[in-house]
């Protein structure tokens, strides 16, 4: 009958539940597998082969018996632990002061913390060489001058194990700071009121209520600091070598020197991977057992504690920390940038533009490197942002069973240290079949992989805070999935999208561990140039480049916050 | 990739074997060569020369021939590692390279990664033992790894005269040296000294709380900064350049002898810019470049007409310690291992 | 023929059957309430109609065209429906005007038409003065009105509302409830209204559909549902009631809890087990024994609450079962007193299910 025919015709307009999201899911899953699993696969294969290509446990035997490698592992773990403790010890009180007290200049504090965050750690390490090398360091010079001491007396020595921990902590504490400050802002003040009404003093409330509430954030921050330190290459390469020891990343790097031992390097990389995974699991377990999260209360803004007489001592503490992390190092770099010989005292006559001239006009590699850095930074930031928005969308909106696998894959690279990824990518993409080594593509792949977890965390958490009905309201009014994503979801996520974008961009500028293994002359990045310049001791040029990086990073962050994502919101 | 390594080595062996021939006919800088080079526009130059010196060289060449030199500067070992990585993975980015580690070029040659090329000027003027008999590479420069001190920190009468002097307790915590794992110069010097003074010397030196830096160009800079008073090793040319800037550094040619470090250069097998490479290579051995090298780079030249304006003694008046490239190559791993044992890295 | 039809509609989440073979036909222009306790599958049914969920079985037809069937669904944006969400789902980055204009912009209307139509609907919903505000600057009731305006302005074929009043306080709830009904009387969109609140359903609906555990228990007018429930569930859910369970004693009589109840209406269970429902305010309470042979029981007052317009009693039968009675304020019997209950047969409804 006619009804049947009509029904059949109409059925054509129906969409099978297999819509576009399924092929997208498939593609994404495949891409993420390639990004994450391929390098690790090759690492495993290489670690199990000897020079002749035969299967063997030789490399692991060497790994387990070579005292220099074991020592490097031990020192790396100790160093990472030290960084975690130091970073938390300075960042947590600072975060509380900045978020919950009437500390003077609180926005200034945040700007300086941001400056510390955008500072590549290796640049900070170089600045600290200028400041705290035992003999030529400015601080030690002042110390000797103040106390009229012998030429070889020194106050601080950056070329030492504690010096190394300090120099890394200076540029990893912002992770703890940001997480704790955000958590503190979300502790609803009525929870504190509830404690106060029961007779608890401010200090007791802080200790018994606020601290436990921000504990997960603090632990998460400390863990990030530990992981960053454990997997960091630049700072140890600059400070540990003069101090006469290796950590695991510099050891792996040295295994790539002639004659290269990629098998052993791969084998040495795997335990590092394992340690990272264990640390991440440990955090999950710990947080899971405690089982509390900071619940976003409606109850207004966080309560501000009046510091009273402690106001200025607290300010001095914060100012001191920020001077160490940002003000002094950049002052030192500035001095290095405008003088020929940093060892000379600063005078008007010794001022020179020579370093700027050299970096921007004589030194051939700079412009290419700045260009490469910007191109890679911006494209990585854009690609990662788009990827994580789509992935978060599929995962958070549970578009179909199994979509949570994407979330897992997107977070997995957090467990892969940069240098390990560098080795893995080199093994994966430097073969006749797939020859990406030597191009910017391999760096792009590396950066996307490295930066994806941070971006994903950011976007997925704000997406899960967004009610799906907000999107459905748009669908039912006649907007397609894509239109909705463009006109509703994306604008609503704008702040987190921009934040994620900036985070990724800054991350690529800071990156050195994977980069150092993957660049060639044409694909140099500023980070590598700085590392190279440091190797040949050109402090002036490093300082100029470092300051340029700071300016560019800040400019990009500011512009990113200004550019409206969607023309009409 | 391991299999691939083997394959490359095999092929390289075949090519190298078949190409085992006498040196090619020397070539000069002709207008045709210049025109062809200009057409290619650039030449990619990997070097371990001090960065400023390398940039001077590049600028002079560009000014003269209008061909751009893309300078890729890193420590010798990193230049070598980079070329190795690139060639093993089929990237032929480098046109011309030099390093301060003579071993590298015997390795490149054995791998068959080098072109034969003998610039006329070099064929005429260079001592025979300073160039490859088959014309694959030649000594672009020579340098010494010298002891030096900062006169502000050390009085001339207290200054060390020999390597043995550096073991005196008064130098504890005041020495700086480069690392053989990252610098060809230091590798060569370490090898020569380990033969002249035995490893026992390094074992004792390791007790002196020596500041360890990577590149051989770095110790003179640490002296300039005043970070350390005396360098155990490091490039003579960098010391000279620092002196020119007015930094009060003083070179010491040790009584035991001073390690001579020959820096070879070569054109690679399949350069991206063959003509520009040929032109640049020929020019590198010409008086202009060699004189620039001496003036700005402070390195020693084998070109007889180069005038050394730095006032240092000529090579003939210095007791030199030469190294055996073959023996050095055979001992690389041992040297690194022993070094780490004594110095921690 | 009905305009919106659900035929044997089924939806599963894993092993759980959330919507179980629902059959429903809604005539054009009618306001139908889906009423049922939380978790019974109302929202899921609504989302199936909207196209946000794809059925596992059965069909949904609009004007006899299939828009959803097992494994396939026309996407929501092509259904010409509107929906009002429990959370309002206003877009915080758009003003009231932009929120309302959104659907019209998607339909590519001329800007002048948009301004006119949005202005008109904002006036109807008493939002004219707030057009340039952002949702964050509105009260709950105003937000709900914006959401109404946004849904109505596109002149949908079908309007869907999911517990639109549940986030409002009691006074506002009443106000918006009447507003929704009057807007419906004005525009006559075919409407499906989901709620768990029987008063809301009674006051707004043309037809009430009572749902229980994913299936429809009863469909009918508010009066039908209240006066003539077909199951114990419906009787209990709509308005308070006392349920007696007992054996069918024949002749419209049921014997339960030591009482013989003659039932004036309803159906008896086939097996002999039958429930009898009698509303709280239909039970008569007295201190003297009424002279009826059946439908009478003696009991004891357990507690009594004065509620101004009436009194609420809890009395205990000899068997221990309790009965709730709502009586006139004049009937004032203190707790502990012996009383008689009378269950008028015309109010006793036998329930087969
Ligand atoms: N996406 C889903 N996945 C799994 N179970 C669901 C999902 N949506 C609803 N349910 C379950 O289906 C049942 C009915 O839900 P719902 O339709 O929201 O009920 P109502 O709106 O009547 O309160 C509930 O038990 C709920 O837990
Ligand atoms: Mg619901």
Residuewise pLDDT in 10s, chain C (353 residues): 689 999 999 999 888 899 998 999 999 999 999 999 988 999 999 999 998 888 999 999 998 889 988 888 888 888 889 999 888 888 888 899 999 999 999 888 999 999 999 999 898 888 889 999 988 888 888 898 899 899 989 888 899 999 888 877 788 888 888 888 888 888 889 999 999 988 889 889 999 999 999 899 999 999 888 888 888 888 888 888 888 888 777 777 777 777 878 888 877 777 677 888 888 888 888 888 888 777 888 888 989 898 888 899 999 988 888 889 998 888 888 888 888 888 888 888 888 77
* Angle subtended by helix axes B236-244 and B218-225, to nearest 10: 40
Q: Once rounded to an integer, what is the mean pLDDT over residues A306-327? A: 90
Q: Show residues of chain C in contact with A477, CB under 8 Å.
A: 77, 82, 102-103, 106, 150-151, 154
Q: What's the pLDDT at B205?
A: 94
Q: Any idea which residue has 């578009």 for tokens?
A: A399
B residues 315-344 closer than 8 Å to A (CB): 332-333, 340, 343-344
Q: Facing residues of B68 across strands?
A: B42
Residues 445-474 of A with CB under 8 A from C: 467, 469-470, 472-474
Return the residue in A478, A479, A486 with the most chain C beta carbons within 10 A, the one to mutate for interface testing. Answer: A478
Mean pLDDT of A102-118: 87
Residue A258 has pLDDT above 70, yes or no: no
Distance from the alpha carbon of residue A492 to the mean position of ligand 1, in angstroms: 26
Query: How confident is the model at residue B65, as a pLDDT?
Result: 94
A172 in reach of chain B (CB within 8 A): no
- pLDDT for the residue A520: 74
Within 10 Å of residue B169's Cβ, how many Cβ atoms?
Answer: 8
Binned at pLDDT 50, 70 and 90, residue B155 comes out as very high
Which of A4, A18, A476, A564 should we substitute to test contact with C (largest number of C Cβ atoms within 10 Å)? A476
Asked: is C4-227 a CATH 3.40.50.300 domain? The reply is: yes
Distance CA C213, CA B15 (A): 82
Q: How far is the CA of C163 from the centre of ligand 2 (A)?
A: 7
Query: Under 8 Å CB-to-CB from A151, ≥6 apart: which residues?
Result: A135, A144, B153
**Mean pLDDT over residues A427-440, rounded?**
76
More confident position, A254 or A77: A77
pLDDT at site B315 = 86
Query: What is the model's pTM?
Result: 0.75
B115 vs B308, higher pLDDT? B115
- Inter-residue contact C69 to C59 (CB < 8 Å): yes
pLDDT of residue A192: 65
Report which of residues A187 and B261 the model is more confident about: B261
Nearest-by-Cβ selection for A536 from B44, B77, B215: B215
Ligand 2 ion: residues within 5 Å (CB): C 43
- The verdict on a CB contact (< 8 Å) between B55 and A438 is no
Which numbered atom of ligand 1 lies nearest the CA of C14?
A: 4
Strands C273-279 and C241-250: antiparallel
Residues of C in contact with A476 (CB under 8 A): 50-52, 76-77, 79, 81-83, 160
Strands B230-231 and B147-150: antiparallel
Q: State the pLDDT confidence band at A13, using cuts at 50, 70 and 90.
A: low
Query: Residue C177's pLDDT is what?
Result: 87
C-alpha angle B197-B200-B204 in degrees, rounded to nearest 5 = 105
Rounded Cα gap, residues C128 and B81, in angstroms: 74
N- to C-terminal Cα distance for chain B? 29
Task: Decide if B225 and A343 are in contact by the 8 Å CB cutoff.
Answer: yes
Task: Please give the distance, rounded to the nearest whole angstrom, from the Cα atom of residue C10 to the centre of ligand 2.
Answer: 17
Whose structure tokens read 């607290």?
A314
Classify domain C240-351 by CATH number.
2.40.50.140
- For residue A52, which of C22, C115, B6 has the smallest C-alpha distance? B6
Cα separation, A76 vs A192, in Å, equals 40
**Residue A293 burial (CB count, 10 A):** 12
E strand or H helix at B332, and its extent?
A: helix B325-343
Here the tokens at position A249 are: 């990343």
> Which chain A residues are closer than 8 Å to B212 by Cβ?
241-244
Residue C238: exposure state from Cβ atoms within 10 A (0-12, 13-18, ≥19): buried
Residue of B nearest to A428 (CA): B1
Whole-angstrom distance, CA of residue C269 vs CA of residue C267: 7
Subunit contact A473:C74, Cβ cutoff 8 A: no
From the CB of residue A523, how many other CB atoms can be counted at a distance below 10 Å? Answer: 21
Residue A520's Cβ-count burial label (10 Å; 0-12, 13-18, 19+) is buried
pLDDT for A3 equals: 35
C135 forms beta bridges with none
Considering only CA atoms, which residue is closest to atom 17 of ligand 1? C41
Q: What's the distance, Cα to Cα, between the start and end of chain C in Å?
A: 30
Q: In whole angstroms, give the CA distance from residue C168 to residue C197.
A: 13
Q: How far apart are CA A460 and CA B329, in angstroms?
A: 55
Closest CA to C340 of C259, C264, C255: C259
Does A347 lie at the interface with C, CB-CB under 8 angstroms? no
Instruction: Report yes or no: C210 and C201 within 8 Å, Cβ to Cβ.
Output: no
Separation of alpha carbons A275 and B77, rounded Å: 31
CATH 2.40.50.140 residue ranges in chain C? 240-351
Q: Looking at residue A18, what is its pLDDT?
A: 46
Residues with CB under 6 A from ligand 1: C 13, 18, 36, 38-44
B222 touches chain A (CB under 8 A): yes
User: Within 10 Å of residue C350's Cβ, how many Cβ atoms?
Assistant: 22
The two tokens of residue B149 are 């001190």
- Going by pLDDT thresholds of 50, 70 and 90, the confidence category of residue A303 is low
Q: Which ligand is nearest to the CA of C45?
A: 1
User: Chain B residue with minimal CA distance to A260?
Assistant: B81
CA dihedral A477, A482, A484, A487 (to 10 degrees): -120
Residues in B closer than 8 angstroms to A363, CB to CB, are 51, 55
Q: What is the CA radius of gyration of chain A?
A: 26
Return the percentage of chain B with pLDDT > 70, whole number.
94
Examine the pLDDT at A240 and tell me if it is beyond 80: yes
**Quick one: pLDDT at residue A198?**
67
Per-residue pLDDT band for B114 (boundaries 50, 70, 90) equals very high
Which of A520, A256, A258 has its CA nearest to residue B72?
A: A520
pLDDT digits (tens, 9 = 90+) for B212-259: 988 888 899 889 888 899 999 999 988 988 888 888 999 999 999 999
pLDDT band at A20 (very low <50, low <70, confident <90, very high): low
Looking at the complex, does the CB of residue A294 fall below 8 Å from at least one CB of chain B?
A: no
Q: Is B171 helix (H, G, I), strand (E, B) or coil?
A: helix
Fold annotation for B2-141+263-312: D-Maltodextrin-Binding Protein; domain 2 (3.40.190)
Tell me the fold of B144-260+319-343: D-Maltodextrin-Binding Protein; domain 2 (3.40.190)
Distance in angstroms (rounded) separating the CA atoms of residues A483 and A479: 6
Domain ranges in chain C with CATH number 3.40.50.300: 4-227
Angstrom distance (rounded) from CA C234 to CA B7: 83
Question: Which run of H or of E encompasses B264?
Answer: strand B258-267
ipTM surpassing 0.85? no
Mean pLDDT of chain C: 87
User: How many interchain CB pairs under 8 A, A with C?
Assistant: 102
pLDDT band at A292 (very low <50, low <70, confident <90, very high): very low
In this predicted structure, what is the pLDDT of residue A290?
A: 44
Exposed e or buried b for every residue in B187-219, given b needs 16+ CB within 10 A? bbbbbbbbeebebebbeebbebebbbbbbbbbb
- Answer for the pair A511, A419: CB distance below 8 angstroms, yes or no: no
Q: Distance (Å, rounded) from C-alpha C189 to C-alpha C81?
A: 10
List, by residue range, all CATH 3.40.190.10 domains of chain B.
2-141+263-312, 144-260+319-343
Asked if C349 contacts C228 with a C-beta cutoff of 8 angstroms, the reply is yes
Cβ <8 Å between A537 and B78: no
**Would you state the pLDDT for residue A83?**
96
Beta bridge partners of B147: B252
Q: How many CA atoms lie within 13 A of B304 on its CB side?
A: 7
Q: Do A438 and B86 touch (CB under 8 A)?
A: yes
Chain C residues close to A486, C-beta within 8 Å:
none
Q: Which of C85, C221, C73, C227 is nearest to C164 (CA)?
A: C85
Q: Is B305 on the interface with A (CB under 8 A)?
A: no
State the closest ligand 1 atom to the C-alpha of C38, by its place in the atom list counted from 1: 23
A431 touches B at CB < 8 Å = yes
Residue from A6, A477, A565 to probe the interface with C (highest C Cβ count within 10 Å): A477
Residue corresponding to tokens 């050299």: A358
Cis omega before residue A259 (within 30°)?
yes
Q: Do A259 and B333 touch (CB under 8 A)?
A: yes
The verdict on A298 touching C (C-beta cutoff 8 Å) is: no
Cβ–Cβ gap A14/C72 under 8 Å: yes
CA distance C175 to chain A (A): 24
Domains and CATH numbers, chain A: 56-188+214-294 (1.10.3720.10), 368-522 (1.10.3720.10)
Widest distance between CA atoms in chain B: 63
Q: Would you tell me how many other CB atoms lie within 10 Å of the CB of residue B113?
A: 26
A295 pLDDT higher than 90: no
In angstroms, the CA A532 to CA A512 distance is 11
Mean pLDDT of the region A57-62: 88
Residue B18 predicted with pLDDT over 50: no
């Amino acid at each position: 009958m006619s009804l049947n025919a009509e029904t059949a015709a109409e059925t054509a307009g129906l969409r099978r539940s297999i819509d576009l999201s399924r092929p997208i899911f498939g593609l994404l899953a495949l891409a993420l597998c390639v990004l994450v699993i391929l390098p690790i696969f090759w690492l495993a294969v290489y670690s199990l082969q000897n020079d002749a290509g035969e299967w063997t446990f030789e490399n692991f035997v060497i790994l387990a018996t070579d005292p220099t490698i074991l020592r490097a592992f031990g020192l790396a773990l100790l160093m990472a632990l030290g960084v975690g403790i130091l970073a938390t010890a300075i960042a947590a009180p600072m975060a509380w002061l900045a978020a919950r007290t009437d500390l003077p200049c609180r926005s200034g504090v945040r700007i300086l913390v941001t400056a510390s965050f955008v500072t590549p750690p290796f640049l900070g390490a170089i600045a600290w060489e200028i400041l705290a090398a035992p003999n030529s360091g400015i601080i030690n010079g002042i110390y000797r001058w103040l106390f009229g001491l012998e030429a070889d007396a020194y106050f601080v020595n950056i070329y030492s194990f504690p010096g190394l921990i300090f120099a890394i902590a200076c540029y990893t504490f912002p992770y703890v700071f940001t997480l704790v400050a955000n958590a503190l802002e979300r502790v609803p003040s009525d929870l504190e009121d509830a404690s106060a009404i029961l007779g608890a003093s401010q200090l007791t409330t802080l200790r018994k209520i606020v601290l436990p509430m921000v504990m997960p954030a603090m632990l998460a921050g400390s863990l990030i600091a530990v992981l960053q330190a454990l997997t960091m290459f630049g700072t140890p390469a600059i400070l540990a070598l003069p101090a006469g020891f290796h950590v695991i990343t510099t050891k792996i790097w040295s295994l790539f020197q002639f004659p290269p031992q990629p098998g052993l390097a791969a084998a040495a990389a795997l335990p590092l991977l394992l340690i990272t995974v264990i640390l991440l699991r440990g955090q999950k377990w710990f947080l899971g057992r405690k089982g509390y999260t900071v619940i976003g209360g409606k109850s207004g803004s966080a309560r501000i504690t009046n510091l009273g007489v402690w106001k200025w001592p607290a300010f001095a503490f914060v100012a001191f920390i920020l001077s160490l992390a940002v003000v002094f190092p950049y002052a030192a770099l500035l001095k290095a940038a405008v003088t020929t010989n940093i060892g000379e005292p600063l005078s008007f006559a010794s001022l020179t533009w020579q370093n700027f001239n050299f970096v921007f006009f004589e030194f051939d590699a700079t412009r290419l490197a700045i260009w490469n850095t910007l191109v890679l930074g911006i494209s990585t930031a854009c690609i990662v942002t788009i990827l994580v928005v789509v992935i978060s969308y599929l995962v958070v909106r549970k578009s179909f069973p199994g979509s949570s696998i994407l979330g897992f894959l997107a977070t997995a690279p957090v467990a892969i240290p940069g240098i390990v990824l560098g080795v893995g990518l080199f093994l994966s993409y430097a073969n006749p079949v797939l020859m990406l080594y030597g191009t910017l593509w391999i760096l792009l792949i590396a950066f996307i992989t490295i930066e994806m977890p941070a971006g994903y965390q950011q976007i997925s958490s704000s997406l899960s805070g967004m009610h799906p009905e907000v999107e459905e309201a748009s669908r039912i009014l006649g907007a397609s999935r894509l239109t909705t994503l463009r006109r509703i979801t994306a604008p609503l996520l704008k702040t987190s999208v921009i934040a994620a974008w900036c985070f990724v961009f800054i991350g690529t500028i800071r990156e050195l561990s994977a980069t150092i293994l993957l660049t060639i002359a044409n694909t140099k990045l500023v980070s590598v140039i700085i590392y190279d310049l440091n190797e040949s001791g050109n402090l002036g040029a490093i300082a100029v480049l470092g300051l340029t990086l700071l300016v560019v990073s800040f400019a990009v962050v500011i512009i990113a916050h200004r550019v409206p994502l969607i023309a009409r919101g | 990739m391991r299999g691939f390594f083997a394959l490359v080595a095999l092929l390289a062996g075949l090519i190298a074997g078949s190409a085992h021939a006498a040196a090619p006919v020397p070539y000069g800088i002709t207008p045709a060569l210049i025109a062809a080079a200009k057409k290619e526009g650039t030449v990619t130059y990997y070097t371990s020369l001090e960065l400023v010196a390398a940039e001077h060289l590049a600028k002079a060449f560009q000014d003269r021939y209008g061909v751009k030199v893309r300078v890729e500067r890193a420590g010798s070992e990193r230049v070598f590692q980079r070329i190795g990585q690139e060639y093993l993975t089929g990237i032929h980015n480098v046109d011309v390279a030099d390093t301060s580690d003579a071993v590298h070029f015997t390795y490149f040659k054995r791998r068959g990664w080098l072109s034969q090329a003998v610039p006329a000027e070099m064929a005429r003027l260079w001592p025979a033992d300073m160039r490859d008999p088959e014309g694959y590479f030649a000594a672009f420069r020579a340098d010494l790894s010298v002891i030096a001190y900062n006169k502000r920190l050390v009085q001339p009468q207290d200054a060390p005269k020999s390597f043995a002097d550096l073991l005196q307790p008064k130098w504890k915590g005041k020495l700086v040296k480069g690392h053989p794992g990252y610098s060809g110069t230091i590798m060569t010097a370490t090898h020569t000294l380990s033969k002249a003074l035995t490893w026992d010397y390094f074992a004792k030196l390791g007790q002196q709380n020596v500041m360890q830096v990577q590149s051989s160009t770095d110790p003179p800079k640490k002296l300039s900064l005043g970070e350390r008073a005396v360098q155990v090793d490091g490039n003579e040319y960098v010391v000279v350049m620092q002196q020119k800037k007015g930094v009060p550094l003083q070179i010491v040619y040790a009584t035991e002898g001073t390690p001579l470090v020959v820096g070879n250069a070569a054109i690679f097998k399949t350069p991206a810019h063959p003509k520009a490479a040929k032109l640049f290579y020929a020019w590198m051995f010409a008086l202009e470049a060699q004189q620039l090298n001496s003036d700005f780079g402070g390195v020693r030249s084998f070109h007889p007409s180069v005038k050394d304006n730095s006032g240092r003694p000529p090579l003939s008046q210095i007791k030199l310690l030469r190294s055996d490239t073959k023996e050095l190559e055979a001992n690389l791993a041992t040297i690194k291992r022993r070094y780490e044992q004594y110095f921690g890295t | 023929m009905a305009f919106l039809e659900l035929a044997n509609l089924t939806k599963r989440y894993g092993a759980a059957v959330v919507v179980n073979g629902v059959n429903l036909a809604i005539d054009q222009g009618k306001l139908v309430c889906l009423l049922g306790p939380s978790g019974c599958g109302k929202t899921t049914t609504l989302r199936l109609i909207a196209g946000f969920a794809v059925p596992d079985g059965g069909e949904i037809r609009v004007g006899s065209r299939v828009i959803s069937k097992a494994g396939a669904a026309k996407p929501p944006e092509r259904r010409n429906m509107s929906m009002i969400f429990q959370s309002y789902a206003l877009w915080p980055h758009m003003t009231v005007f932009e929120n309302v204009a959104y659907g019209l912009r998607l339909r590519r209307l001329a800007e002048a038409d948009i301004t006119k139509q949005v202005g008109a609907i904002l006036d109807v919903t008493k939002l004219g003065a707030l057009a340039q505000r952002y949702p964050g600057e509105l009260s709950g009731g105003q937000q709900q009105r914006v959401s109404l305006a946004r849904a109505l302005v596109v002149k949908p074929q079908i309007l869907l509302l999911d517990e639109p009043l549940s986030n409002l306080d009691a006074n506002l709830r009443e106000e918006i409830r009447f507003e929704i009904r009057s807007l419906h009387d004005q525009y006559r969109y075919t409407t499906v209204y989901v709620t768990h609140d029987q008063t809301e359903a009674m006051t707004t609906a043309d037809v009430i559909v009572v749902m229980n555990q994913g299936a429809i228990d009863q469909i009918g007018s508010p009066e039908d549902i209240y006066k003539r429930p077909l199951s114990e569930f419906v009787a209990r859910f709509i308005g308070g009631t006392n349920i007696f369970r007992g054996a069918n004693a024949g002749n419209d009589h049921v014997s339960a809890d030591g009482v013989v109840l003659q039932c004036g209406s309803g159906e008896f269970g086939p097996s002999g087990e039958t429930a009898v429902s009698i509303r709280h305010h239909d039970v008569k309470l007295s201190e003297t024994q009424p002279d009826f042979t059946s439908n009478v029981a003696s009991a004891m007052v357990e507690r009594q609450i004065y509620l101004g317009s009436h009194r609420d009693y809890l009395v205990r039968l000899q068997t221990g079962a309790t009965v709730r009675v709502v009586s006139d304020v004049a009937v004032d019997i203190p707790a502990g007193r012996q009383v008689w209950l009378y269950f008028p047969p015309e109010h006793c409804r036998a329930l087969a299910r």
